[in-house]
Structure 1
Amino acid sequence: MTEQQREASEDAVMTRIGQAIILLHAGDREEARNRLGDIWNEIGEEGPALHRCTLAHYMADAQDDPADELAWDLRALNAADGLRQEPITLPLPQPHSAVRVFYPSLHLNLAADYVKLSRPEAARIHLARARAATDALADDGYGDGVRAAISRLELRLGTGPDADPRPTPFPGQQ
């Protein structure tokens, strides 16, 4: 396979992932989950890290069970870590530094997963990692949205500079 054929094939995978994401955002979680699952079966655990990271990130959003969501978010984080060792064919001047922009959102998602699973300490750890990684975010709508979501979860967990020292209890806690 030539380099051009490989890149075209990778673009086709990202297009298919994008189509499944459109279904997810339109509310068809089951069909999105099915399509993302089919793509995951094709690319597997050893597929390109960018594909695995993107797919796992959105597959987590398509889950109904918080434990399944956590498993997919952990796969996304693992794949993002793999992006550092893998060549990236993105049209960016410094593609490996662009990988850093994934971490605030990935850790925020993990923190939210742990909240759903009533694991506040794990949630706080990932929330702190999300906050620490925000320097990679641009001052744009996406960056502002991620920072705002981090702040909201910090308030809920009683962490961060503006937090109430009396955090909201988790279900089952007094």
Structure 2
Amino acid sequence: MDLDDVVVRLCAEGMQAEAAGRSEDAHALFRQAWDAATDDYGACVAAHYLARHQTAPEDVLRWNQECLERADRVGDERVRGFYPSLHLNLARAHEELGDGDRAQEHYRQAAGRLEDAPAGPYRDGMRFTIAAALRTNGGGSTALTELLGKLCERKDFRALGVLLPPYLGDLGTADDRTALLTAVQMVRLGQSLPEEDAVLLTRAMGELTQAGRPAPA
């Protein structure tokens, strides 16, 4: 971002105030950035930071929605990387307001735009958050979830080390299902499991093979 741009500069100062624990100063700087915005890009950036400083869920939703609308108006590479976190923030806001259906819609959209975010820990963190939300609402293999619980109780770190990475990052795409199936097969072939766990593993393979979850839109 261009620090010569007044909106970007004010938001950067707001982030510094935020990091120093000066929440009121940060909010004031983000509000100044909003007032100083002269185009949709500047308004999009300012709205993002203002959304973070709202206390009422309705206001969080309103500012995140404003940010999304402004990003849509910009419609170029400058905002492409904003969309995964934008939809994630909207999902959380709808969740906070008790609208689970709208929340899931935005979680799916966040999943579909995840590759637009720069690779690295931040994108990985978003992936895990989105995947957890999708699992909570009925995604994935119930047998695999049950098996992982048993492996945790038994502290079977070897099997967990194979299964957890693809499980925690599963967004329901065909590639994610393939990664999960591969991990399950590796555990099945690579170590001896108690009979009850072996049954769960077989069930998990069947559920993953038959899974008809569509890829995120």
State TM-score, norm by structure 1.
0.71
Change (3 A) 1:162 1:73: farther
Unpaired runs of at least 5, structure 2: 146-217
Q: Aligned pair in 2 of structure 1 residues 145, 9: CA closer, same or farther (>3 Å)?
A: closer
Letter in 1 for 2:65: L
Q: How many residues matched? A: 142
Q: Distance in 2 between matches of 1:12 and 1:162?
A: 49
1:116 to 82, 87, 96: 96
**Aligned partners of 1:24 and 1:62 also within 8 Å:** no
Separation in 2 of the partners of 1:132 and 1:160? 15
Q: Aligned-pair RMSD on alpha carbons?
A: 2.3
2:74 is aligned with 1:83: yes
Q: Compared with structure 1, are the counterparts of its residues 73 and 13 closer, same or farther at alpha carbon in structure 2 (3 Å cutoff)? A: same
Aligned-pair identity in percent equals 30
**CA distance 1:161–1:134, shift in 2 (3 Å):** farther
1:104 aligns with 2:84: yes
Shift of 1:136: 1.6
Match of 2:25 in 1: 31
Aligned residues of 2:7 and 2:34 also touching (Cα < 8 A): no
- Between the aligned partners of 1:55 and 1:159, the Cα distance in structure 2 is 35
2: CA distance, partners of 1:77 / 1:50: 11
Could you tell me which runs of 5 or more consecutive residues in structure 1 were left unpaired when the two chains were aligned. 1-7, 85-95, 165-174
How much does 1:9 deviate? Answer: 9.0
The yes-or-no answer on 1:13 pairing with 2:7 is yes
Partner secondary structure for residue 95 of structure 2 = helix
CA–CA distance in structure 2, aligned partners of residues 73 and 21 of structure 1 = 17
Partner of 2:59: 68
Greater Cα shift, 111-120 or 135-144: 135-144
Does structure 1 conserve the Cα–Cα contact (< 8 Å) formed by 2:34 and 2:46? Answer: yes
Structure 1 runs (4+) greater than 6 angstroms displaced: none
Higher helix share: 2
